[in-house]
Structure 1
Amino acid sequence: MLLFQRLSLRKESTVSKWALNAAVAILGLLLVACSSNKANTSKASAGSYSGSVYIVKRGDTLYRISRMTGSSVGELARLNGISAPYTLEIGQKIRVKGSSAKKKTAVAKTSKPRSSTSSNTSVAKVAAPPVGSRCWRWPTSGKIIEPFSSSDGGNKGIDIAGSRGQPIYASAAGTVVYVGDQLRGYGNLVMIKHSEDYITAYAHNDTTLVNNGQKVSAGQKIATMGSTGSDSVNLHFQIRYRATALDPLRYLPPQGSKPSC
């Protein structure tokens, strides 16, 4: 969450390289790959400690494990040779520093990680902003084939079906902070930052029409729909508020209409 809050664009001349690295780290920590969720139907083993080792369960991220164990993301990445975007596999054994793991084991077995607010490594749940507090436009039109889910490992956005080459538009004005295909399960991905609180993500694009650091206006064409990183042609769209995923359907106007604000 701190990374998300510090994702600022102070100097346009250096924004591309800095923002790309920051955006990769943010998505690696916070987003759950939508296509891998659909493809992985095997039963996941529960995440657990064994001495100084944590066994990855479905929905785990390096950030979540860092909160549970008291280790920093950087330390976990270094100990386990994991580089951005910090992709984990179910059943993978993650080395953690022994002292923190021992102190946290009892807590992890008796309570959910997110319920703790007293630990310095915990992040309080962010209250969702009220509907209508910001104007959003539909990034494209089409049938919703996968709704939002707040559950662990659930879809952290909406999937909109369409045809290959269909235009994708910026849902609001902002600055492009990531364009690339380094994140497994998202294909060609575009991320746009809107103020210090909001980021939108547009995944599975066929082609991208913007560059890192580019300022875009609401409704500007930024990509075309495709199936990169997916088994069907669709747009995976997310709205993030202070790193927390929101249900886009709560904030978007009725499909086919413009925002009234």
Structure 2
Amino acid sequence: MTAAALLLSVACLWPVAAHADDSRLRWPVSPRPPVTRGFDAPSPNWNRGHRGVDLAGAPNQPIYAAGPGTVVFAGILAGRPVVSLAHPGGLRTSYEPVQTAVRPGQTVAGGQLLGTLLAGHPGCPVAACLHWGAMWGPASNADYVNPLGLLAETPVRLKPRGG
């Protein structure tokens, strides 16, 4: 009876664990790059901050979708080439400066090529840097988050209630 209960418990938990792993992100650059500038949450959202992380790269390096989603923007924004994805559950990620290989409305898989990295990201200490951003909700009322905390390899840390 104990073995049956254990088997049932594992069977019930298996789909949840698989879904949790599928919802986590992967690095958009391979191999894993150094972070040249970290996330600095603006507070409130319209104030100064760094709404993502800058990852060291090289010009023409492939940039990949961090997770499955739909391309919601691929073009020039504020003078920079940007690709933005909407992921299941309300997460959005952005990648710049990227010469796009995708188009708005296109569905992409995690790890699928989005385009190639371009040089010219302001403040980049190497030949090219990818600015990778993440936010929950629509851009007009976004909650910016550190994309590094959404990576599959980042351990999940639970906070105590009310903490």
- Taking the TM superposition and a 5 Å limit, the aligned residue runs for 1:154-233 are 154-184=49-79, 187-195=80-88, 197-205=90-98, 207-228=99-120, 230=122, 232=124, 233=128
SS at structure 2 position matched to 1:181: strand
Q: Given the superposition, is the C-alpha separation of residues 215 and 156 from structure 1 closer, same or farther in structure 2, using an over 3 Å criterion?
A: same
SS at structure 2 position matched to 1:137: coil
**CA RMSD in angstroms, aligned pairs only:** 2.1
Query: What is aligned with 1:136?
Result: 25
Structure with greater strand percent: 2
Query: What is the alpha-carbon distance in structure 2 between the residues aligned to residue 132 and residue 227 of structure 1?
Result: 33
Consecutive unaligned residues in structure 2, runs of 5 or more: 1-19, 155-163
Cα contact 1:204–1:230 (8 A) shared by 2: no
1:110-137 Cα distance to aligned partner (Å, 9 max, x none): xxxxxxxxxxxxxxxxxxxxx9793111
Cα contact 1:175–1:213 (8 A) shared by 2: yes
**Which portions of structure 1, spanning 4 or more consecutive aligned residues, are displaced by more than 4 angstroms?**
none
> Which residue identity lines up with residue 246 of structure 1 in the other structure?
V
Cα contact 2:65–2:113 (8 A) shared by 1: yes
Query: What is aligned with 2:158?
Result: none
- Taking the TM superposition and a 5 Å limit, the aligned residue runs for 1:48-63 are none
SS at structure 2 position matched to 1:191: strand
Consecutive unaligned residues in structure 1, runs of 5 or more: 1-130, 256-261
- Taking the TM superposition and a 5 Å limit, the aligned residue runs for 1:81-96 are none
SS at structure 1 position matched to 2:77: coil
**TM-score computed with the length of structure 2 as normaliser:** 0.68
**TM-score computed with the length of structure 1 as normaliser:** 0.43
Query: What is the alpha-carbon distance in structure 2 between the residues aligned to residue 142 and residue 157 of structure 1?
Result: 15
